[in-house]
Structure 1
Amino acid sequence: MRRSQCQPWCAQPTAQGGGRHRAPDLPGFGQTPVLEGDGGLGAFADWLDDVVGEVVGEEPFAVLGNSIAGVLVRELVVRRPDQVSGLALLAPVVDPDALRRLQDDYALPGPLPEERSGTYEGPTLIVTGRQDNKVGYRDQLALAEHFPRLTLAMLDRAGHNVHLDQEGAVRGMVQNWAQDAARGR
C-alpha cells in the first residue's frame, strides 16, 4: 500500500490514541529512492529495519504491511519482537511459491519469519480478498497457528487490493486493530 492510499485512514487511530503515525513508501515507490545494489527482499528488510530504528528507536510500535510488505513487517517481528505491539497484514505474501509467482528474487534468505520466531503474542490482523489472484487467500490461513491473538478476515468482492475494493470494511478493522495495538500486549 502506498503512503497516499493509507494516509486518509491509517492516521485516524493514532490521532485518537495519541500515537505517532508514519507510512514510508518502500524503496522505488512514491518519493523513496531505489535501493543501491540488487534490491532483493533481504535488502528491503534491512532498509525497513533501519527506518524503524531511525523513527522509533527502542520504543514500541505497531506495523501494517500490504502485499510484499507483509513479508517485511513479519520480518520486523523477528528482528524486534519486544518492540512490535501489533501486526496487521493486508493481502500479505505468505509462502515462497507466492513469492516466486510475484518475482523470483523476492525471497528472504533462510526460513520464513514465522519459522524462525515461533508465535507472536500481540494483536494481529490479517485481511485478504477472496478473489485475490496474486497471492490468494489460502496461504494466510496457515499463519493462524503463529498468531494466538489473530483476527482473520477474508472479504468477498475483493482482490489483491482488498483495502481499495472493500475500503470501509478494511478501514474499520484496521482502526480496531490499531486501538488494540495502542493498548499494548
Structure 2
Amino acid sequence: MECLIGDVKVHYEIYGSGKPIIMLHGFTPDHRLMSGCMEPVFSQREGWKRIYIDLPGMGKTEGHASIQNSDGMLDLVLKFIDTIIPDESFLIAGESYGGYITRGVISKRKEKIDGVAFICPLIIPDASMRQVPPHTVIYRDNKFLSQLNTEERENFSSKFVVLNEYNWQRYLEEIIAGIKLADEAFLTKILKQYAFSFEVDSQISLYEKPSLFLLGKQDSVTGYRDAWNLLDKYPRATFAVLDKAGHNLQIEQDALFHSLINEWLDRVEEK
C-alpha cells in the first residue's frame, strides 16, 4: 500500500483489524524486519491492526530531498500516523533507529499512545558516546557455517552472536532483503544529522502506560546500559536484558521475544 505524505510516497502494509500498532524498523532495512518478528505473535491474538511502514530511503519508500535529518524522519512518521489513523489512539513498537524515532513520536503524541515497545533501541545517536560491549559470538554451528562462503560467513559473524542456520535464513529474509533496497546516498545524508535538534527525553517527561525495553546483553551496536538511564521516565516498563542476544535479539531469542511482547500486550489490554 502507498500513501502520499507531502511529496513523499510512503510504502506501508497493514495486517489484521482492531487497535492500531505502528511498527518502526531500524536504519537501512525495511518493514520486513518488524513484520518478521511481530507477525508470529498475532497468529495467536486477534483485535490488533498492525501497521508496518518503510521509512524514507528504505524498502519501497524513496528518499526525498525534503527530508534532511532525523527531525524530518520524525515529522514524516507523525504525518503518516495522523493520515492513516486520524483521531485514534495506538501502540508503537520501534527497533534500533525505529526506537529513537519512537521516542520522538512519544514526545509529540504521548496522550494518544497506549503502549510502547523498544527493541534494541538506539538511545544515543553519536556512536562514539554509547556504552557498548565488544562484539562476542556465543554459539557457532560450524557444520552449517562451513556451507557459507567466506564473505557470507564473515558478514554473519560480525552481525550475530548466535550463528546457526535458523538465524541465517531469517537474517536473509528479514534484514538483508531490505538492506539491498536502501538508498545509501540518502541514508548517508541522514547520518550526518542523526540526532534530533531537540532534547527528546526532556519533552517526554513521564510516560505512564505499559512499556517494554528489550535489550541484548551482547548488543555491540546500541548496547543495553544507556537505555537504563531512561527507565525513570517509564514507570510501567519491563526492562529485559537477554543473554545470547546481540542487536538482532528478536531473531536470536525469538521465544523470549514473543513471550515478552505478548505480556506487554496483555498489560495494555488490562486497562
- The normalised TM-score by structure 2 is 0.62
Aligned to 2:59: 30
| 1:20-67 superposed Cα distances (whole Å, 9 cap, x missing partner) | 110112112211221324531101000110111111112110000010
Match for 2:114 among 81, 85, 95?
Answer: 85
Partner of 2:238 in structure 1? 151
Q: 2 CA distance for matches of 1:100 and 1:56?
A: 36
Tell me which residue corresponds to 2:168.
none
Aligned twin of 1:137? 224
Structure 2 residue runs of 5 or longer lacking an equivalent are: 1-24, 131-187
1:178 alignment partner in structure 2? 265
**Greater share of strand residues, 1 or 2?**
2
Aligned residue for 2:92, secondary structure, equals: strand
Percent identity over the alignment is: 26
* Partner secondary structure for residue 49 of structure 1: helix
The correspondence of residues 40-55 of structure 1 with structure 2, limited to 5 A, is 40-55=69-84
Structure 2: distance between partners of 1:176 and 1:72: 23
Query: 1:6 maps to what in 2?
Result: 34
SS of the residue aligned with 1:153? strand
> What do residues 76-124 of structure 1 show as CA deviations (whole Å, max 9, x unaligned)?
111111100000001111134448779442100121x221121101110
Larger radius of gyration: 2
Distance 1:120 1:158, change over 3 A: same
Residue 229 of structure 2 aligns to a residue in which SS? Answer: helix
- In 2 relative to 1, CA 140–176 (structure 1 residues): closer, same or farther, beyond 3 Å? same
SS at match of 1:82: helix
User: 2:106 corresponds to which letter in structure 1?
Assistant: V
Q: Is the 1:13–1:179 Cα contact (8 Å) retained in structure 2?
A: no
Distance 2:104 2:98 in 1: 10
1:109 equivalent in structure 2: 197
Q: Distance in 2 between matches of 1:49 and 1:25?
A: 14
Question: In structure 2, what residue type is equivalent to 1:83?
Answer: K
- Give the superposition deviation at 1:150: 0.5
C-alpha distance in structure 2 between counterparts of 1:63 and 1:162, whole Å = 18
Count residues in correspondence. Answer: 183
The partner residue of 2:250 within 139, 146, 163 is 163
Match of 2:133 in 1: none
Deviations 1:137-166 (A, max 9, x none): 100111110000000110111111111221
Gaps of 5+ in 1: none
Aligned partners of 1:97 and 1:130: how far apart in 2? 20
Q: TM-score, normalised by structure 1?
A: 0.88
